[in-house]
Chain A
Amino acid sequence: MVHLFKRLGYNIAVDTASASVHVLDDVAYEAVSLFDKTEEGELVAALAKKFGIPTDDAEECVADIKELVKEGRLFSEDRFRPDVAALSKRSPVVKALCLHVAHTCNLDCDYCFASQGKYHGERALMSFEVGKRAIDFLLENSGSRHNLEVDFFGGEPLMNFEVVKRIVAYARSREEECGKRFRFTLTTNGMLVDDDVIEFSNREMDNVVMSLDGRKEVNDRFRKTAGGAGSYDIIVPKFQKFAAARGEREYYIRGTFTHFNPDFMKDIDVMLSLGFDRLSMEPVVASPDSPCALTEEDKPVVMKQYELLAERMIEKNRTGAPFVFYHYMLDLEHGPCIYKRISGCGSGTEYLAVTPTGELYPCHQFVGEKGFEMGNVFDGISEEGRKIIADFKRCNAYSKPECEDCWARLYCSGGCAANGWHSTGDVNGVYAYGCDLFRCRMECALAVKAAEAVHVS
């Protein structure tokens, strides 16, 4: 399958099965679009006539396309379905945990999918004993994997900072003897960020995700204290100090856009004006009847923002002030292998969430949801948990009829199981709205890559 599209003035062809990407001029774009349904001589004549070019020029263009086909980089056949079956027979290893160290929060964000951090349950903080056992569970179940990941999540994880520090110290103490390397991530609302947090994070956290929605009025609409005051004026100076102190280390300013700010490019611009240069802006996770849920009417507005964002990125790249947008980071040459593209994010198989009391769930978005508890870190995966693993193992682009004709299936791996479950009641379901946004994002990301390549050439 070849996906042809035009974005930001670039003509682009994506060969789905090989993951090859090509930028085309108008003649080549026309030629590729007709290539598999037109006889060669007829195609050459049609190109020469339509574009007023010499016949030998049109022949050369068609010959270039034939060469790419021969190399398996255009119109290549997708032969990966048997690999999916083989992969599903492998025994899964756990390589990442989302540690819910705090099911409580010092903000009261109306749109929080975690119900103000409590996940439909009681307020709770993880004890060191549970955290230590979670680390041991990960070490025991990670097979030969060297890189292990732990995200400190909540609620607000900094409300349990002393335990976070002890868990990290314990994990570090086990690295050498176990032949493992832990990569830690912290996701925070910023309210408790201070010099101690910054110093510790710069020493131990591979990545820090800082929640900020952009414009002050947008951020403070939802991200409020329990007393109803906005958080913007408190967290922005803390995040600015934190981000500056990160140096070359990874961080993301991570915003949420909702029905109230589908024009989120204005929020991105605010983030840039505040000096942040590593950004992520995500659609809200909300039930369709929520006032903040994105609507069909919002969709074209949101898609326009992705285009504006791509244009801004190209402009900033050329003026020497580049920034990173998470979804536009594409490594076209050394990106994920086919096995990663088939297996997706790994939720429910190699990535699990741990509650403050040690229960295991397929990922942070399933925590507290009835029917998704998989056991606990003390007793291991339960019988029910094994059934859940089997369910999640079959979540991929090759198990969903909707993905068969989608050019982006090996970029998204069939999408997010939680989104699928929320929208269809099936973890293997498809959240069609999210698919539309994903395809738009991918086209824009590829257009940024095209701009870089054309600028260089």
Chain B
Amino acid sequence: MKRIISLNTDLENSKKEGGCGECQTSCQSACKTSCVANQKCEKPAK
């Protein structure tokens, strides 16, 4: 019986591909007061 639903599949792995810095600065988006959870990765496609 399935008792666990995983909503996603590991930040450790994001070390290899991450860090390009192309994502939006969070304070530029909507709130300006209670700023990274809501950001998107915008790494350019290879």
Q: Which A residues are within 8 Å of any B CB, using their own CB?
A: 17-25, 27-28, 57, 60-61, 64-65, 68, 71-73, 76, 79-80, 83, 93, 95-96, 98, 145-147, 149, 151, 183, 185, 187, 207, 209, 252, 254, 280, 282-283, 285, 326-327, 329-341, 344-347, 350-351, 363-365, 410-413, 415-416, 419, 434, 437-438, 442, 445-446, 449-450, 453-454, 457
Contacts and interface: CB of A to CB of B under 8 A. Distances in A.
B14 to A, nearest CB: 4
Contacts of A415: 35
SS class of chain B's interface: helix, strand, loop or mixed? loop
* 8 residue pairs, one from A and one from B, having the closest CB atoms: A337-B18, A337-B14, A411-B37, A96-B25, A339-B19, A332-B8, A28-B3, A280-B30
Contacts, number: 195
Contacts of A350: 21, 25
B44 A336 contact: no
Contacts of A57: 1
B3 A351 contact: no
Interface of B: 1, 3-12, 14-15, 17-19, 21-44
B9 to A, nearest CB: 7
Given A23-B5, A282-B33, A340-B36, A98 B28 contact: yes
B37 A183 contact: no
Contacts of B37: 327, 330, 335-336, 411-412, 442, 445
Nearest to A23: B5
B4 A24 contact: yes
B19 A336 contact: no
Contact of A23 (B4, B11, B33): B4
